[in-house]
Amino acid sequence: MSRPGKNGFLMRGSAEGWEVLDTGLSDPIWDVHHFNGATYLATSECLYRLDARGTPQPVEMNLGRRMTFGQLHSADGVLLSTGRKHQCWTADGVVWHCIA
């Protein structure tokens, strides 16, 4: 389980213990969500996926425009990202579709 925070602060852990991840991000993390074997972080301006070392990597959505982010939700094999101006979804974390 991960907890979001301000200025890129992120903790990862369980009942056995917690560790602080140095994300290197300066923006607040609005949401953290585990989907399809990967952990995603949403800031207002970017969606990240944690790599094997726990370092956030920007998700390439290839939607042809700059998107906004903020909240993440998954159900029925789909990850939904909702930002101030946009919503987009993916079923595999690779191919993304813009709703609005």
- 17-23 long-range contacts (CB < 8 A, ≥24 apart) are 21/54, 23/55, 23/56
Per-residue model confidence as pLDDT tens digits over 44-71: 999 999 998 888 999 999 998 889 999 9
Per-residue model confidence as pLDDT tens digits over 19-39: 887 788 888 889 999 999 999
Q: With 80 as the cut, is the pLDDT of residue 2 above it?
A: no
> What percentage of the chain reaches a pLDDT higher than 70?
92
Q: With 60 as the cut, is the pLDDT of residue 3 above it?
A: no
| Six token digits for residue 22 | 């140095």
What residues does each domain of the chain span?
A: 2-98
